[in-house]
């Protein structure tokens, strides 16, 4: 997020709203609960090493918390005019509320350190980071919510660390030259 917060799953449930797992913005880098795996919206929809392009549909999975980044029409915990973003399901349990559309500006593929917007497919809301902070048990962490208005700086997300896979080789063993140039390192 623009304020430097990292998408995080603190392992606690919201006290109201859906009661699902909280998703927050945390300033601390390197937290295991801050790593998310980007996968296709459907099984097999985003092979490892395949570039993610503008308007691709993806899901984000948090292995530490064992849930998907999710949203729905329930109001956000603090910003009642926005929608709740939560952690939901498990690796084996996913639904349409877990699907996000990648929006790129000025580039063709999502790479490390390239800002993107994530638009929730079912609600049309953009994942945003508030300047508001929670009190305990997640004290000091920022509220993450869905906002239906776009073109807001709070909606730009950047991958700054993680594990990046090179493009997969074609069946003949050759690497597609276009994919090779686009692969994050």
State which residues of the chain have pLDDT below 50.
Answer: 174-185
- Tell me the pTM: 0.87
CB 37 within 8 A of CB 25: no
Q: Residue 168 has what pLDDT?
A: 67
Q: Is 44 left (phi over 0), alpha (psi -120 to 50) or beta?
A: left
Please report the pLDDT score of residue 153 as a whole number: 79
Q: Which residues of 55-79 are buried (b: 16+ CB within 10 A; e: fewer)?
A: ebbbbbbbeebebbbbbbebbbbeb
Q: Are 58 and 12 in contact (CB under 8 A)?
A: no
pLDDT of the residue at 177: 41
Question: pLDDT (tens digit, 9 = 90+) per residue, 39-52?
Answer: 999 877 778 888 89
| pLDDT score for 29 | 87
3-state secondary structure of 109: strand
pLDDT of 154 reads 82
Using one digit for the tens of pLDDT, what is the confidence trace for 88-109? Answer: 999 999 999 999 999 998 899 9
Cβ-contact 134, 143 below 8 angstroms: yes
């Amino acid at each position: 997020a623009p304020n430097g917060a990292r998408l995080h799953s603190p392992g606690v449930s919201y006290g109201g709203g859906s009661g699902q797992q909280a998703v927050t913005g945390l300033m601390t880098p390197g937290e295991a609960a801050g790593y998310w795996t980007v996968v296709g919206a459907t099984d097999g929809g985003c092979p490892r090493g395949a570039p993610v392009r503008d308007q691709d549909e993806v899901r984000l999975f948090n292995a530490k918390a064992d849930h998907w980044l999710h949203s729905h029409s329930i109001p956000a915990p603090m910003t009642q005019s926005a929608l709740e973003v939560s952690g939901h399901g498990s690796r084996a349990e996913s639904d349409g509320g877990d699907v996000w559309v990648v929006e790129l500006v000025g580039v063709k593929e999502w790479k490390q350190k390239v800002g993107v917007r994530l638009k929730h497919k079912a609600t049309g809301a953009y994942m945003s980071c508030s300047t508001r902070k929670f009190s305990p048990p997640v004290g000091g962490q920022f509220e993450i919510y869905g906002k239906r208005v776009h073109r807001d700086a709070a909606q730009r997300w950047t991958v700054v660390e993680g594990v990046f896979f090179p493009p997969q080789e074609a069946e003949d063993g050759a690497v597609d030259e276009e994919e090779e140039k686009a692969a994050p390192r």
